[in-house]
Amino acid sequence: MRMLLSALAVTTFLAGAAQAATVYPLDRATILAGSPFDFKVEFDGVVKPEDVKITVNGQDYKSVLGKEAEFVAEEKGKEDKILGSALIARGLTLPVEGAYKIEVTAGSQTKTVTWDVYNTGMTQKAKNVIFILGDGLSVAHRTAARIMSKGMTEGKANGRLNMDDLDHMAFIGTSSTEAIATDSANTMSAYMTGHKTAVNALGVYGDRTPDSLDDPRVETLAEAIRRQTKKSIGIVTTSEIQDATPAAVVSHTRKRADKPEITGMLLDVKPDVVLGGGSAYFLPKETAGSKRKDDKDYIKLFQEAGYALATSKSELETAAGTNTGKILGLFHTGNMDTLLDRDFLKKGTVEKFPNQPGLVDMTNVALGELSKNPEGFFLMIEAANIDKMSHPLDWDRAVVETIEFDKAVGAAREFAAKNPDTLIVVTGDHTHGVSIIGTVDDEKPGTEMREKVGTYAAAGFPNYTDENGDGYPDKINVTRRLFLAATNGPDHYETFRPKLDGPFVPAIQNEKKEYVANEAYKDVPGAVFVQGNIPKEGDSGVHAVDDVVLQSTGPGSEGFKGYMEQSDVYRVLADSMALGTKQTN
Amino acid sequence: MNPSDVKTTRRDVLSLIGGLPLLLCARPSAAAAASLTFGELYSRFGVLGLEFSEKVKTLSGQEVSIRGFMAPPLKAEAAFFVLTEIPMSLCPFCSSDADWPDNIVVVYLGEKQTFVQPSRTIEAQGVLEFGSWTDPETGFVSLLRLRDAQYAAV
């Protein structure tokens, strides 16, 4: 997804050259009444300000939008290339619901867009909202987690996942504003702002200028909660806290890689509980391990803002017992390790960071802390490594992460059982190209691993065991195991076995910037070469365009049904908390 | 310089290296170089920062050799490359230096040398330097460097 950025800049420019003006928010945008947003018009080429006419529902735009937009005579692209004129007005609000038709003309250029401004109920349906996201969570991950964790006899599951019993469901369309395909930035941004946007973008529409921090902003859910309520906010993830999914709760940038800046945006919003990895972006440049390019010490800045700091599982338990009301838990300089590495194999970076809490530990601490607020809370929990292990086609790690994710769902359901005024939403942000096609059975005759793949009736049932009843298989490398296959990927070697020495690295880059199969797996007995089917610049498996399955329970969950755009999910969340209404008095 | 020129130049250099298998030994100080491994770089890994090992501190300013894998150069003309403990799956062009692991060594070459395939172990030798430093040309921030270095496949 990183490499899409340069391609994207080109596409945006070409689109601008070939068409008339572009208006942000885009046509068919849905906007929460009273929620601040930036309005921008990008003209094709340079226009004179006196030629520009903008009306909203037939009236001069200034009277309806309440502000005069700044005219930019010439927006510049790379190497000072002139892109055209623009109009920008920041922080507009439309307090009244209804359809807003915006008509822009400048000489021969015209553009018409219509926004749907909606409001919510006056009173909240849910005091607490727990939004649990499996990054990249696809149907195969769920099915595999159920079979691996619970087992199956004669075609019926021997048990149910926590997410199997949520009563409202919807199919979610995840596409971005410029392509059917999508990444974790634009998808979570749609959930957290109600506006779809471009790949790599968070809390903004992707405009044509190169600056990643000047794009037209829309309000994030955390900002709306701060504006309208006294609820607490929590963000929990197993990735860097600045990674796209957690960042989308609070951030505004065209470029998800702006992680040092995202750390600052996190401090601006001050979520009450922040738990995850990514300490490298909190440390000043001079500290070994820092990934900042300045001398700002965000550890100190958060502590000065009243946060209790925890850097390990045991410190998290201590912090949970304090009364600061705010916890910053950072457990890794980068992304946290997977459950399979943390608790079973001790691979990955577990040796360096041996005392990382798991997603369930973090969820329980967050729930305990946030629920102290009588006004309620919003908690976002992300199982990031489902995606981070699906990219390199490490399906065993991705499935075990899904089991852990489901246990976090269980912790949320346990909380909701005692606090029925809690809405739980369980979903993915996008899918991966993966399916379970059967099993691999070491006991089948011969040495060719391919011949040991069981399909149809020959698949039988896997022989994972769970003697201690912890929900995780006692060992991952059983003799008859699930076989998950990727629909896409770079050149790589399929070993038909779990990667016991650390997460799979399917391909590495050569001097021509092409990804070639990693020869480290070439000599694994029975390994076969798998020809890649995506461009050679791609390092790993890519996201699928397939719908995500969203499941929900609790007050407000009846809003989830049928097919929904990802941006429509925001509206259900906003309505459940009545974010159209000021509740801070 | 267009890309095909670069390629030609590199091939030339490659054949040159092929003819000089004893390149490292050609250096007068080679015999004195202390060896350092990736496992010896830091004495402590922690959420609040890493600590350089005593060995790194002691060897700072001295000629050292270290074995690892060469990540594809950031730019064809870049004055440095990144030496990693394991072959990298990262795309250095598309990602920022922020996405690199902690335990990398940035190698500034004394003279241009050609790329070695990513799965091939190399030994780099140069003057060890530690502490945060921002490459003025690329903005790449590094903690450990080899200066005036050269390398060869092993």
Q: How confident is the model at residue B19 (pLDDT cuts 50, 70, 90)?
A: very low
CB contact under 8 A, A510 and B134: no
Does one domain contain both A38 and A155?
no
Residue span of the structural domain in which B136 resides = 3-153
Give the pLDDT confidence score for residue A19 in this predicted structure: 52
**CA–CA distance, A128 with A554 (Å, rounded to integer):** 10
CATH number at residue B70: 2.40.50.140
Residues 6+ apart with CB under 8 A from A578: A120, A121, A122, A123, A124, A125, A228
Region A72-86: what's the mean pLDDT?
96
Choose one of A118, A145, A178: the last residue of a domain: A118
Region A236-259: what's the mean pLDDT?
97
Does one domain contain both A88 and A224?
no
CB contact under 8 A, B94 and A2: yes
- Flag whether A228 is in a domain: yes
B70 or A99: whose pLDDT is higher? Answer: A99
Of A3, A333, A392, the CB nearest to B102: A333
- Flag whether A559 is in a domain: yes
Region A481-492: what's the mean pLDDT?
97
Give the pLDDT confidence score for residue B99 in this predicted structure: 67
Give the pair of three-digit tokens for residue A25: 């928010």
Residues 6+ apart with CB under 8 A from B73: A511, B80, B81, B92, B115
Give the pLDDT confidence score for residue B6 in this predicted structure: 36
**CA–CA distance, A214 with B151 (Å, rounded to integer):** 44
Does one domain contain both A518 and A396?
no
Does one domain contain both A199 and A70?
no
Single pTM value for the model: 0.91
**CA–CA distance, A523 with A90 (Å, rounded to integer):** 59
Does one domain contain both A59 and A179?
no
CA angle A396, A401, A403 (to 5 degrees): 100
Whether the CB-CB separation of A436 and A144 falls below 8 Å is answered with: yes
pLDDT in tens, B85-120: 888 765 433 344 556 777 789 999 888 777 777 778
Give the pLDDT confidence score for residue B98 in this predicted structure: 54
**CA–CA distance, A173 with A429 (Å, rounded to integer):** 10
Average pLDDT of every residue of chain A = 95
- Flag whether A535 is in a domain: no
Does one domain contain both A485 and A524?
yes
Q: What percent of chain A has pLDDT over 90?
A: 92
Does one domain contain both A550 and A403?
yes
Region A400-425: what's the mean pLDDT?
98
| ipTM of this predicted structure | 0.84
Region B46-54: what's the mean pLDDT?
93
Choose one of A84, A118, A152: the last residue of a domain: A118
Whether the CB-CB separation of A47 and A64 falls below 8 Å is answered with: no
Q: How many domains does chain A have?
A: 3
Number of other CB atoms surrounding residue A123 within 10 Å: 8
- Flag whether A273 is in a domain: yes
Best mutation target among B47, B105, B134, B140 (most A Cβ atoms within 10 Å) is B47
End-to-end CA distance of chain A: 44
Does one domain contain both A38 and A10?
yes
CATH number at residue A55: 2.60.40.10
Task: Count CB pairs under 8 A between chains A and B.
Answer: 107
Mark residue A203 as left, alpha or beta (left: phi above 0; alpha: psi -120 to 50; beta: remaining). left
User: Which 3-state string (H, E, C) describes A189-249?
Assistant: HHHHHCCCCCCCCECECCCCCCCCCCCCEECCHHHHHHHHCCCEEEEEEEEECCCHHHHCC
**CA–CA distance, A476 with A479 (Å, rounded to integer):** 9
- Flag whether A303 is in a domain: yes
Does one domain contain both A98 and A146?
no
Q: What percent of chain A has pLDDT over 70?
A: 97
User: With 90 as the cut, is the pLDDT of residue A215 above it?
Assistant: yes
Does one domain contain both A132 and A37?
no
Residue A9 Cα distances to A91, A215, B89, angstroms: 25, 13, 25
Choose one of A87, A118, A149: the last residue of a domain: A118
User: With 80 as the cut, is the pLDDT of residue A144 above it?
Assistant: yes
Residues of B with a Cβ under 8 Å from any A Cβ are 10, 42, 45-52, 71-73, 86-99, 101-102, 115, 117-119, 131-132, 134, 139, 141, 143
Q: Name residue A183's amino acid.
A: D
Would you list the DSSP string of A112-138? EEEEEEE---SS-S-SEEEEEEETT--
Does one domain contain both A57 and A86?
yes
Does one domain contain both A140 and A106?
no
pLDDT in tens, A95-106: 999 999 999 999
Q: How many domains does chain B have?
A: 1
User: With 80 as the cut, is the pLDDT of residue A83 above it?
Assistant: yes
- Flag whether A69 is in a domain: yes
Phi, then psi, of A6 in degrees rounded to 5: -70, -40
Cα B143 off chain centre by: 12
- Flag whether A306 is in a domain: yes
Residue span of the structural domain in which A454 resides = 435-530
CB contact under 8 A, A330 and B47: yes
